[in-house]
């Protein structure tokens, strides 16, 4: 799997944004205004429609910020049975477990500087709830968050709508980037954040799509590290 490192820093974003075409994606029928800095990205991610999650932990050391799937007040459903996990900050390992079980379905060591990874284990089951667990660089479990794979009937409805959308995009002669942007918008409108990010990272130059998503996605949930191995 091709690795793409996304680091939220002003220098990197400025360099990447300078290579983005100035025209908007016409097929998506939305004006994509790219933030000028990482600070703007975080600010524009705040909105009344998507209130930021509240960290209930009041003590401890600030750890990584999870971006998708989120927990608490955000939608943790995913459409894909191979979801994308996105975060900001250094972690050493990620695991996926069936909720209520310590059995590990999939784990992956995270290279330094990587901020996203797609699940690569056995297909997750519709209607089932799972936990993705983050480990720090010392191999301590620091955060466990639940997410649910959409029920089979709902997944089929989304699949049908996506097929219709693909036919529309093909008829309009949409490029690969335009099609991915429109699919990402589709998922973002339904608060399926993991799926929206998966579409963003499906193209070689995802910056324009990232700019669109970060203007609507909830604020990253910044963890505060609990006691080692308390999960």
Question: Which pLDDT tens digit goes with each residue over 29-56?
Answer: 333 333 333 333 323 332 333 333 333 3
Give Cα separations from 166 to 152, 172, 179, 207 (angstroms): 21, 10, 8, 22
- CATH no. for residue 148? 2.60.40.10
- More reliable by pLDDT, 56 or 165: 165
Structure token digits, residue 196: 């929206």
Helix axes 207-214, 10-17, angle to 10 degrees: 120
Question: Which pLDDT tens digit goes with each residue over 139-161?
Answer: 999 988 899 999 999 999 999 99
Give me the domain span that covers residue 47: 24-225
Is 41 within the bounds of a domain?
Answer: yes
What is the average per-residue pLDDT within 111-130? 95
What is the number of domains present in the chain? 1
pLDDT score at 211: 83
Supply the mean pLDDT for the chain: 74
pTM exceeds 0.75, yes or no: no
Is 4 within the bounds of a domain?
Answer: no
pLDDT score at 210: 85
pLDDT score at 172: 96
Evaluate if residue 99 carries a pLDDT over 90.
yes
Is 83 within the bounds of a domain?
Answer: yes
Is 15 within the bounds of a domain?
Answer: no
Give Cα separations from 18 to 15, 25, 35 (angstroms): 5, 16, 11
Question: Which pLDDT tens digit goes with each residue over 198-217?
Answer: 999 999 888 888 888 877 76
Structure token digits, residue 109: 């060591």
Evaluate if residue 127 carries a pLDDT over 60.
yes
Is 64 within the bounds of a domain?
Answer: yes
């Amino acid at each position: 799997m091709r690795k793409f490192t996304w680091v939220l820093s002003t220098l990197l974003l400025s360099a990447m944004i300078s290579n983005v075409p100035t025209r908007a994606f016409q097929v998506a029928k939305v004006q994509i205004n790219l933030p000028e800095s990482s600070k703007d990205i975080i600010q524009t991610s705040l909105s009344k429609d998507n209130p930021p999650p509240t960290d209930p932990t009041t003590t401890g050391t600030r750890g990584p910020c999870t971006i998708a799937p989120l927990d608490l007040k955000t939608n943790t459903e995913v459409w894909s049975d191979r979801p994308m996990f996105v975060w900001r900050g250094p972690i050493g390992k990620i695991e996926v477990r069936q909720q209520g079980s310590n059995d590990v379905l999939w784990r992956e060591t995270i290279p330094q500087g990587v901020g996203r990874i797609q699940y690569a284990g056995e297909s997750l089951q519709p209607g089932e709830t799972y936990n993705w667990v983050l480990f720090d660089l010392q191999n301590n479990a620091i955060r466990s968050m639940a997410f649910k794979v959409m029920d089979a009937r709902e997944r089929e409805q989304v699949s049908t709508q996506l097929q219709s959308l693909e036919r529309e995009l093909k008829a309009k002669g949409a490029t690969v980037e335009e099609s991915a942007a429109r699919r990402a918008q589709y998922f973002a409108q339904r608060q399926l954040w993991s799926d929206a990010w998966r579409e963003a990272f499906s193209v070689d130059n995802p910056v324009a799509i990232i700019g669109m998503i970060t203007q609507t996605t909830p604020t990253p949930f910044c963890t505060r590290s609990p006691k080692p191995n308390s999960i």
